[in-house]
Amino acid sequence: MRNRNTTEGLRHHNRALVLQSLRRIGPSSHTEIAEVSALASGTVSVITAELFEEGALLKQEQPPSKGRGRPRVLLTLNPEFARLAFIHIISGEVEYSLINYNNVLLDRFKVLRHGSETDAAAFGTQVRRDLFRLAERSGLAPHDIAHISIATKGLVGGGGTKLMWSPVFGDSQIDFQALLRPDWAGKVTVNNETCFSAHAKLEEAGRFARHHAVLSLGDSIGLGIASRDRNGQTTYQAPPFGHMLHMPDGPLCRCGVQGCIEAYSGFYGILRSAFDAPADHIPAKFIPKDQMDQLASKARQGDQMIRFAFRQAADVLAMGLSRLMTIHGPMPVTIAGPGLSYFDLMEEQFKMHLEKNLRIRVSHMPQISIETNERRLIFASNTKVSLAAFDGDCVATRLVDRPKSA
Amino acid sequence: MRNRNTTEGLRHHNRALVLQSLRRIGPSSHTEIAEVSALASGTVSVITAELFEEGALLKQEQPPSKGRGRPRVLLTLNPEFARLAFIHIISGEVEYSLINYNNVLLDRFKVLRHGSETDAAAFGTQVRRDLFRLAERSGLAPHDIAHISIATKGLVGGGGTKLMWSPVFGDSQIDFQALLRPDWAGKVTVNNETCFSAHAKLEEAGRFARHHAVLSLGDSIGLGIASRDRNGQTTYQAPPFGHMLHMPDGPLCRCGVQGCIEAYSGFYGILRSAFDAPADHIPAKFIPKDQMDQLASKARQGDQMIRFAFRQAADVLAMGLSRLMTIHGPMPVTIAGPGLSYFDLMEEQFKMHLEKNLRIRVSHMPQISIETNERRLIFASNTKVSLAAFDGDCVATRLVDRPKSA
DNA sequence: AGCCTTTTTTTCGAGACTCGAATTGACTTG
DNA sequence: CAAGTCAATTCGAGTCTCGAAAAAAAGGCT
């Protein structure tokens, strides 16, 4: 929004409002948009006409009419108006997706990664190559892609453009914006994947939910928090929860210090304490899921040592959540990730620790739920967020010339 | 702001902008306001004329003119336009203050509290009585007071109107809004005092500072965090940091659970470990400052046991800050409160724990500073925040009738 | 003293935007 | 095929901002 205090700024705001309504309620008539956006019908008329002129909207044939009167003309977002690319960096693979302006998946492929690949620069050039392939496969030039949004594990910084630290590349930072700038005209953003999970869950929870956290369990620990501020705007963050201090001089973490939450509750942490391995020994970067499953089934059969390892993992996570809620207040938490399979071994610890928390005692016990398909959630939310950003930044800005008086 | 998407909403926004500029730069001419607010001079002219009409502004005689040309007319906020009341609840006393619309102190008095007074209802009626006295002393009726803002220790909730938990009244909540509603027409807000300290420090740090925390040490531990969001708006919060979990099964805290930060680092926690008292024994609600001073001087003279108690207090605080910064990112911290006198015994622990933090490792070590006059800070910031809220909520809303065409 | 210069403030016309009533359009029903 | 119904557009009135032009209020100059 360029100039907030001028009438043009007002129009910008209202154009954004129209687009936003259209995304939320899908193809809809004039009247519906006016209702949802709380704009006068005349205003909606002018704005939609502009957007149609600019190519952002299409008028859709009305569905077989029901009832009498003039049938409604459905307005939809023009799929051809723009394309957005998405990269999801997962442990074993990188997923590339392309969508159109109306949020329909156009193309998708995955590139496997060698477990040994920890060279950030090499990874960067690989990503550039694969992104070119994504564009080419749909016959697009780089400048046809309006926005590239990357979801990854790890700590993101630099205003949402840099990967500052990650379990795979460690301190080797990757500045994706700089990496892609030379060829790709669109905006480039990077976010921790759990930001998107949390965002999706908050939206799901309805317009009055204020916060939601998603805790993703696996080789490493991810946490995303989505919040709605008092203007109704949603913000999100993904603090490196797995590397929050649990206890000084605790077991060694992959990040190099002792006593991080992950060192207790990441897969390798659980494995280590299950076998009573030395606390400064880090087993492996990735623990096969099979191995963890076997461990869990022994715990379920009553193996005390292993049972203890899972319970300790849960204790530490729960205390971390308690500390988080001391700062942010109680909020619902959704558990996700491969470690979710072992949630039955950990569930009761959560309640136990949380109910001691002062803020929870004076208000309420937050709901703890689970989510089995986090990946779907991440993609769905990433597209939503990116499209909304593109709408607000670009589409809402007036393009066509105003009708001259002549 | 009532309706964001109409031209009247725009005017509301710009009126607020003018008032805000005037508060920031003090009595200023037309031209200056136009520069600071980035509004066209004509617009400022109309808005200031309106505000003058409504009584919010005064035109001030120009100072002895220097240079030629038409002398500037200084505009100032009309002191008589409104009065705001402030209540600061401190351990031993309650301070009542009254200011005018131009932020000048009109009246102030203190009411001593008996240390034994822990009855929330009685306290409530006492506050009402004293507030009446504040109004009367200046010949005001209750409805002349536009806003009442309360600063206190403890956990505030209910949208900034309720004291949810406090060291003095424990779980006996006080809903100040409900308490004062019958007689007092103005808005009533309650905030933790350290919110205001943090707010003041953030403002001090300049327009580009994003976060600031104030840690207040004493019988209890207070923490305020102020943040600037991407729109430049400042928000603040005061999580009950003293009751964040440090370690399970740790020493008993006044709040009833074990292992809170305060149980290690509040005055009573330090005292307890200095004398190796049982960890479930809580010495007293208020420890005389003398006693703590004596303790500290023994520590400085080399008493190992006492020295350990202070260092442990610092360790626990520092780890708490580290956990906080894992969530919010590194931010400068200011230490304040009576416990500041012992900061020399604790300083090095802070750096030691913080530098292990992942987010600090990948970005920077935050500055740690001290503030000896927190009370002044709290009041100054409280008045600023409350006046700004009053401006935005009330004054910016158009009052005078528009000139009718007739 | 009277006129010119300089600087500030106000005024005013043009352009933009929203609102809501009135009008136009399109389709169903009788 | 006319009347009825509902949707979308148009249009006039009312607001608002902007910026140029005019007015106001000094000091300086002759």
For the stretch A344-393, pLDDT in tens is 999 999 999 999 999 999 999 999 999 999 999 999 999 999 999 999 99
| Closest Cα in chain B, distance from residue A363 (Å) | 9
Confidence class of residue B403 from pLDDT cuts 50, 70 and 90?
very low
Q: Which helix (H) or strand (E) holds B93?
A: strand B93-100
- The pLDDT of residue B399 is 76
What topology does CATH give the domain B7-79?
Arc Repressor Mutant, subunit A (1.10.10)
pLDDT band at A52 (very low <50, low <70, confident <90, very high): very high
Bridge partners (DSSP) listed for residue A74: A29, A60
Q: How far is the CA of B72 from the C1' of C9 (A)?
A: 9
Residue in B39, B229, B358 nearest the CB of A5: B39
Instruction: Label the pairing between strands B83-89 and B93-100.
Output: antiparallel
Report chain A residues whose CB lies below 8 A from the CB of B164. Answer: 362-363
Q: Searching chain A, which residue's CA lies closest to the CA of residue B224?
A: A327
Distance in Å, residue A2 CA to nucleotide C25 C1': 38
B353 contacts A326? CB cut-off 8 A: no
Q: What's the mean pLDDT in A236-258?
A: 96
Average pLDDT over every residue of A90-101 = 95
Interface test with A, best of B358, B359, B363 (most A CBs within 10 A): B358
In chain A, CATH 1.10.10.10 covers 7-77
The spacing between the Cα labelled CA in A14 and the C1' in C19, in angstroms, equals 14
Q: Average pLDDT in the A262-272 region?
A: 96
pLDDT at A404 over 50: no
Q: Using one digit for the tens of pLDDT, what is the confidence trace for B233-259?
A: 999 999 999 999 999 999 999 999 999
Q: What is the DSSP string of B139-155?
A: T--GGGEEEEEEEESSE
User: How confident is the model at residue B240, as a pLDDT?
Assistant: 98
Q: What is the pLDDT of residue A315?
A: 98
Residue count (chain B):
406
Q: Is the pLDDT of residue B283 over 80?
A: no
Judged against a pLDDT cut of 50, whether residue B79 lies above it is answered with: yes
Answer whether A328 sits within 8 Å of B245, measured CB to CB.
no
Give residues lining strand D (CB < 7 Å).
Answer: A 3, 5-7, 29-31, 41-42, 45-46, 48-49, 67-73; B 7-8, 10-11, 14, 38-43, 46-47, 62, 65, 67-71, 398, 402, 405
In chain A, ranges of CATH 3.30.420.40 domains? 81-185, 205-372
Question: Amino acid identity of A96?
Answer: Y
State percent of chain B over pLDDT 70. Answer: 96
Confidence band, pLDDT 50/70/90 cuts, at residue A406: very low
Between chain A and chain B, how many beta carbons pairs sit less than 8 Å apart?
A: 117
Domain A205-372, CATH: 3.30.420.40
Q: Do B328 and A327 touch (CB under 8 A)?
A: yes
What's the CA A347/C1' D15 distance, rounded, in angstroms? 59
Contact check, Cβ <8 Å, B10/A14: no
Interface contact flag, A362 B155, Cβ < 8 Å? yes
CA pair distance A379, A100, nearest whole angstrom: 14
Strands A74-77 and A57-60: antiparallel
Residue A272 has pLDDT above 60, yes or no: yes
Q: Report residue B88: phi and psi, to 5°.
A: -115, 115
CA distances (Å), B330 to each of A157, B321, B366, in order? 12, 9, 6
| Residue, of A267 and A401, whose pLDDT is higher | A267
Name the helix (H) or strand (E) containing B328: helix B304-328
The residue-averaged pLDDT of A91-113 equals 96
Q: Is the pLDDT of residue B291 over 50?
A: yes
CA–C1' gap, B47 and C21, in angstroms: 31
Among residues A235, A255, A234, A232, which one has the least CA distance to residue A243?
A255
Measure B79 CA to D26 C1' (Å): 29
Output the CA angle A312-A315-A320, nearest 5 degrees. 130
Say how far apart CA A7 and CA B327 lie, in whole Å: 39
Region of poorest pLDDT, from A311-315, B65-69, B197-201, B313-317? B65-69
Mean pLDDT of A265-277: 95
**What's the confidence (pLDDT) of residue A1?**
47
User: Domain A81-185: which CATH class?
Assistant: alpha beta
- With distances taken from each CA to the C1' atom of nucleotide D9, the closest residue turns out to be A45
Beta bridge partners of A224: A214
CB contact under 8 A, B239 and A327: yes
Q: What is the C-alpha to C-alpha distance for residues A210 and A331, in angstroms, rounded to an integer?
A: 8
Contact B323 A244 (CB under 8 A): yes
pLDDT of residue B15: 97
What dotted CATH number matches A7-77? 1.10.10.10
The proportion of chain A whose per-residue pLDDT surpasses 70, expressed as a percent, equals 96
Instruction: Calculate how close chain A gets to B291, using CA atoms only, in Å.
Output: 29
Lowest-confidence pick of B2-6, B62-66, B301-305, B348-352: B62-66
Query: By the 8 A CB rule, do A115 and A92 touch?
Result: yes
Q: What is the pLDDT of residue B1?
A: 47
State which nucleotides on strand C lie below 7 Å from a protein beta carbon.
5-13, 15-22, 25-29
Chosen from A13, A258, A324, A362 to mutate, greatest number of chain B CBs within 10 A: A362
pLDDT-derived band at B231 (thresholds 50, 70, 90) equals confident
Question: Do residue B240 and residue A326 have CB atoms under 8 angstroms apart?
Answer: yes
Length of chain A measured in residues: 406
**Cβ pair B315, B261 in contact under 8 A:** no
The answer, yes or no, to whether residue A65 has pLDDT greater than 90, is: no
Dihedral over alpha carbons A319, A322, A324, A328 (to 10 degrees): 180
Helix (H) / strand (E) element for B199: namely helix B193-204
Choosing among B253, B362, B363, which should be mutated to test the A contact, i.e. which has the most A CBs within 10 A?
B362
* SS3 category, B135: helix
Our CA-based measurement puts residue B373 at a distance from the nearest CA of chain A, in whole angstroms, of: 25
Q: Determine, for residues B240 and A4 on separate chains, whether the beta-carbon distance falls below 8 Å.
A: no
CA–CA min distance A375, chain B (Å): 24
Kind of pairing between the strands at A333-336 and A368-370: parallel
Query: Which amino acid is it at A210?
Result: R
Q: At what angle do helices B304-328 and B289-300 cross, to 10 degrees?
A: 100
* pLDDT, mean of residues A130-157: 96
What is residue B63's predicted lDDT score, i.e. its pLDDT? 67
Distance D11 C1' – A152 CA (angstroms): 53
Say how far B27 CA is from D21 C1', in Å: 28
Name the minimum distance, in Å, from the CA of A391 to any CA of chain B.
17
Cβ distance of A319 and B362 shorter than 8 Å: no
Taking contacts as CB-CB distances below 8 angstroms, the residues of chain A near B353 are 245, 248
Residues with CB under 7 A from strand C: A 7-8, 10-11, 14, 39-43, 46-47, 65, 67-71, 398, 402, 405; B 3, 5-7, 29-31, 41-42, 45-46, 48-49, 67-73
Summarize the confidence of residues A288-293 as an average pLDDT.
95
Q: Is the dihedral of CA B133, B134, B135, B138 positive or negative?
A: positive
- DSSP string across B200-257: HHHHHT-TT--EEEEEE-SSS-EEEEEEE-TTS-EEEE---GGGSB-STT-SBPTTSS
Closest nucleotide relative to residue B68's CA, C1' based: D27
Burial code of B275-285, b = ≥16 C-beta within 10 A, e = fewer? eeeebeebeeb
pLDDT class of A215 with cuts at 50, 70, 90: very high
Nearest chain A CA: its distance from B232 CA (Å)? 13
Q: What is the mean pLDDT of chain A?
A: 93
Q: Please determine, for residue B275, whether its predicted confidence score (pLDDT) is greater than 50.
A: yes
Separation in Å, CA of A133 to nearest CA in chain B: 33
CB contact under 8 Å between B243 and A326, yes or no, is yes
- Report pLDDT for A16: 97
List CB contacts (< 8 A) between B171 and chain A.
362
Å between CA of A26 and C1' of C8: 54
Q: Which of B46, B229, B244 to mutate to test the interface with A (most CBs of A within 10 A)?
A: B244
- The tokens for B143 are 């409805």
Closest residue in A to B6 (Cα) is: A10
